[in-house]
Structure 1
């Protein structure tokens, strides 16, 4: 890892220069943050599990013709990905009231929503990632109307796919966050594709029968058993590998 040129370091991942032009290596850390980086900690093995879970989901979405930045998993903590220009928006899909939505709207957590709700937040930690509307998004030039339509279409399709995937393993997809980027196939040709990751870090996942939280809320709310919850997601997906056994590889 020290031989590569570091491009960017975020809260949960590090990006390095890739082996070929237009590629990056995405490294998954064990670091955990919450509340806009005010709460920090470490979840041992989280990076290994998120790498596997995101690989599994990104591969499935790609097989369903949903374009993503994922190319292949390189090892237990790294993926080879396409280099994209990240659109500065977080796209949040809500199927069940929870978290900040419940607080803002005065809706009891766990209340099923009459339909899936898509919200947009401007990616800016200093401003607290404020919620923004479509008019603001296009007026500020973060995304144009055609790209916004593409993002909305992909987002709703991804929600349908993930709801079905998780329902099949006894998990309720409460809400989740997506990020998208512009992938330049040539100087004159670009494509909006799914970027970042899909894992218990950016999804709320509850057991369908008990509503037990199996995601980063266990860290946010000091519920304990965070690593075990991530392991349970991987186990139900059929991709679990004990991080402690592979770290020496």
Structure 2
């Protein structure tokens, strides 16, 4: 695998050509970024933890019938995934006021929303990933109306599953970001599946008792102990041993 071909490098992951047609190797880096790459750091062990947490969640989503690109974990930092045509949208599901929605509408952070809200953002770092409407999506042909319906339906199913999963671990699911891609069958019919990752990098997770943040906001807000918080999420989900230094070396 040392001579494998790098296809793409993002802020937190690298994609390599997979061992079989239609597959990719997704490598999780220790790099942490925020505010459109204006804030950067390397957090030892973060990639290992995100790999294991995302593996655990994607496996369970596949099991309940939510289609994902995840095939299997290869090692502590890498997964074998299906190659998809990424839709250039970030789909954000919000259960509790935090981040940009609290700022936009003058809501108090931590205020429960009337219902789960699904938002779309156009994936473009240079533009700051702007919030877009379904009208924009259709006008610029980023996705068809059926694609949008499918993404919303899948996002809400993921929200139901994750809410129960994290509640059982004493964690409040505030909001999270998803990415979707298209796959094509032999008749050139398309299907929307979940891609990218689900981890504390892409979710807001608060301890249900203390309200302590257990996600990337610890890095954004200089709260410290980022990998320790990620390790605690992994421990509560049952994918990490009780002991260790919290860098992910004890992930099982």
Fold equivalence (TM over 0.5): yes
TM-score (norm 2): 0.95
Is contact 2:92-2:118 (8 Å) kept?
Answer: yes
> Which 5+ residue runs of structure 1 have no aligned equivalent?
none
Is contact 1:49-1:240 (8 Å) kept?
Answer: no
Is contact 1:7-1:16 (8 Å) kept?
Answer: yes
SS in 2 for 1:58: helix
Structure-to-structure mapping, 1:181-196, within 5 angstroms: 181-186=181-186, 188-196=188-196
TM-score (norm 1): 0.96
Deviation, structure 1 residue 186: 2.7
Is contact 2:49-2:248 (8 Å) kept?
Answer: no
In structure 1, the residue matched to 2:101 is: 101
In structure 1, the residue matched to 2:39 is: 39
In structure 2, the residue matched to 1:174 is: 174
Q: Does 1:74 align with 2:74?
A: yes
SS in 1 for 2:185: strand
> Which 5+ residue runs of structure 2 have no aligned equivalent?
none
Q: Does 1:205 align with 2:205?
A: yes
In structure 2, the residue matched to 1:220 is: 220
Q: Does 1:124 align with 2:124?
A: yes
SS in 2 for 1:151: helix
Is contact 2:43-2:227 (8 Å) kept?
Answer: yes
In structure 2, the residue matched to 1:234 is: 234
In structure 1, the residue matched to 2:163 is: 163
SS in 1 for 2:129: coil
Deviation, structure 1 residue 191: 1.1
Is contact 2:240-2:250 (8 Å) kept?
Answer: no
SS in 2 for 1:186: coil
Is contact 1:76-1:246 (8 Å) kept?
Answer: no
Is contact 2:69-2:81 (8 Å) kept?
Answer: yes
Note the alpha carbon deviations across 1:136-173, whole angstroms, 9 max, x for none: 10111000011111111001111011001000110000
How many matched pairs? 247
The CA RMSD measured in Å over matched residues stands at: 1.3
CA distance in 2, matches of 1:244, 1:56: 14
Deviation, structure 1 residue 101: 1.2
CA distance in 2, matches of 1:188, 1:228: 45
CA distance in 2, matches of 1:179, 1:224: 27
Is contact 2:231-2:248 (8 Å) kept?
Answer: no
Q: Please, which moves more after superposition, 96-105 or 23-32?
A: 96-105
Note the alpha carbon deviations across 1:74-117, whole angstroms, 9 max, x for none: 00000000000100000001100001111111101011111111
